[in-house]
Amino acid sequence: MTPEWDLVVVGGGPAGMTAAQYGARANLRTLVIEEMAAGGAVLLISDMENYPGFPEPVNGYEFSEAMRQQTENFGAVFKSATADSITKKNNIFTVETSDGPVTSWTVVLSTGAKHRHLGAPGEEEFSGRGVSYCATCDGPFFKNKKMLVVGGGDSACDEASYLANLTEKVVMIHRRDRFRAQKVLADRVQNNSNIEVRLNHTLEGIQGESKVGRVVLKKTDSGETYEEEFDAVFIFIGADPQTSMAPDLEKDDAGYLITNQNMETSLKGFFAVGDVRATPFRQVVVAAGEGAVAAHMAAAHIDDIKGEVYAGIK
């Protein structure tokens, strides 16, 4: 049996679209399955200023549309559907979707991770207008401004330390009486003169006009609430990688897929790229590079399979 596709990419963000571009350029029959609009989390970025080749900030939607058009120009096909499960039998993958099954020699999973939200009043309203879930993405927009960091884990401490290089006014709150981050990371935050730590605090609301202007904070030990002016709110309370369609693949403690340097997961021919993958640095440019590597190695994997088939015919 010959599958209908050589490469199926599940998820149409920058990592997935780059994989599709490199796959199609390598003459692979390439399909991208995306349940929403191509671009993924990039669609939420109003001004992306740190992607190479763009001296002026580029709108996330415009960037995504250009990338989608480029992907189609190379010959990849987009399918609007939800991928429910991925299985493998006799070297062929079957992706069950809301629009029927598709088969392929290889699969690249680029479904990303969803940032956990607090659900505080104003959080959704001001998302992208002072509320952020990525310090390296948005922190530079608020240099020398007053920033609030919410969270107490490793990522929250790392991101707060990064923001403290941009301003002397970082306030970090955590709902418990101690951080749950590794001691070395927690100590780094507590010893940073640019970071004011307030334990036993929760964020009760975010307010402003066209952008974040102030927040409502609550002291959990006394129940007292008060307002304070801030220019930005960074929320780091974890993220959930979207791996439900591949439950048996090897993951790290946080649920991210583990790959080798070829972006290949614990299942041969199955690759993972972007925010769904265990990686030390999550940025658009990194995700794109991972997509290119995955497509290149997918092509090599297909050559190996076909070589085995041809050898068996002799």
Query: Tens digits of per-residue pLDDT, 119-169?
Result: 999 999 999 899 999 888 899 999 999 999 999 988 899 889 999 999 999
Six-digit token pair at 176? Answer: 């418990």
DSSP 106: E
| Catalytic pick among 6, 137, 154, 157 | 137
The model's pTM is 0.76
pLDDT at residue number 254? 87
pLDDT at residue number 41? 82
pLDDT at residue number 217? 98
Cβ distance 160 to 186 under 8 Å?
no
**Per-residue model confidence as pLDDT tens digits over 293-303:** 999 999 999 99
**Per-residue model confidence as pLDDT tens digits over 229-247:** 999 999 999 888 999 998 8
% the chain with pLDDT above 70:
97
Residue 113: closest CA among 41, 185, 23: 41
pLDDT at residue number 308? 61
**Per-residue model confidence as pLDDT tens digits over 194-229:** 999 999 999 999 999 999 999 999 999 999 999 999
* 47 assigned to active site: no
pLDDT at residue number 310? 47
pLDDT at residue number 59? 87
pLDDT at residue number 83? 95
**Per-residue model confidence as pLDDT tens digits over 6-41:** 999 999 999 999 999 999 999 999 999 999 889 888
| Catalytic pick among 47, 84, 99, 134 | 134
**Per-residue model confidence as pLDDT tens digits over 50-75:** 899 999 989 889 999 999 999 999 99
pLDDT at residue number 313? 41
**Per-residue model confidence as pLDDT tens digits over 95-112:** 999 999 999 999 999 999
Six-digit token pair at 264? Answer: 């290949």
| Catalytic pick among 6, 84, 138, 157 | 138
Cβ distance 173 to 256 under 8 Å?
no
**Per-residue model confidence as pLDDT tens digits over 269-295:** 999 999 999 998 888 999 999 999 999
Domains in the chain: ranges and CATH: 5-114+239-313 (3.50.50.60), 117-235 (3.50.50.60)
* 157 assigned to active site: no
Report angle CA 104, 105, 109 to the nearest 5 degrees. Answer: 70
Other Cβ atoms within 10 Å of 228 Cβ, number: 11
Cβ distance 198 to 172 under 8 Å?
yes
- Residue 312 confidence (pLDDT) above 80: no
Exposure of 40 by Cβ count < 10 A (0-12 exposed, 13-18 middle, 19+ buried)?
buried
% the chain with pLDDT above 90:
79
Q: What mean pLDDT, rounded, does the chain reach? A: 93
